[in-house]
Amino acid sequence: MKETITKKERVKRIFDSIAHKYDFLNHLLSLGIDFYWRKKAIQLTGLDNNSMLLDIACGTGDFSLAAIRSGVKNIFGADLSINMLHLINKKVPFIKGKTSQCAAEFLPFKDDSFTNVIAAFGVRNFYDIRAGFKQFHRVLKQNGRATILEFRLPENRTIKNLYLVYFNKVLPFIGKIISKDREAYKYLPESVNEFDEKIALVDLLKQSGFLKVEYYSITFGLVQIVIAHKT
């Protein structure tokens, strides 16, 4: 129990701390490719103006904004960081008054509430990923879809080595200077490395009740998109 609470509190502190610089650093450190990643995930999951969407680990709302550009009007946001929620309420149309400060493992929504759940670069921060996925399944309507966008380590050795140098050396250095939080951008590469070694997203989703799961690898294997269907 102590380890679980420690990770939850660590994640909350880090993201509360860097919220004011989060968007700038995301776009800078990804060289702007993060816009494409979200757009691609939205296209693959098939959102439209009839979708009822829950954006989990919503951060400042870039995934919600990508969904709005696809015609989605009914969007709810959930995040553990109150500072992130303050920013999304200012930044994203249609979402004010429809955000909740909560952990993914305990979502305060009724069963069968949403057609879609999305989570961009947040699943690795869950303290109990399987419990989070069971919550995804619970709040989704029949035939609903959960779409997960996450980093991964590339399989190509050359790309992987370059990626690790950037992720473990360059990114923490720039992140520390701009965000003034040394721990935050040290945690990012640590969390990605640990996640890639220990977590099999497709298997965990199937164990959580999703019978059909699609997997996509994009941008030289740097990012994965996983879409789970509640059938």
pTM, entire model: 0.90
Q: What is the mean pLDDT of each run of 10 residues along the chain (231 residues)?
A: 65 88 82 92 92 96 94 95 94 88 96 97 93 98 97 90 85 78 75 85 96 96 96 91
Q: Go through the domains of the chain in sequence order and give each one's CATH number.
A: 2-229 (3.40.50.150)
* Distance of alpha carbon 214 from alpha carbon 60, whole angstroms: 27
pLDDT in the model for residue 139 = 98
pLDDT in the model for residue 1 = 39
> Residue 19: how many CB atoms within 10 A of its CB?
21
pLDDT in the model for residue 2 = 45
CB under 8 A, 24+ apart: contacts of 208-217: 208/130, 208/133, 208/134, 208/136, 208/137, 209/134, 209/137, 210/133, 210/137, 210/146, 214/44, 216/44, 217/152
Query: Phi, psi (5° rounding) for residue 49?
Result: -75, -5
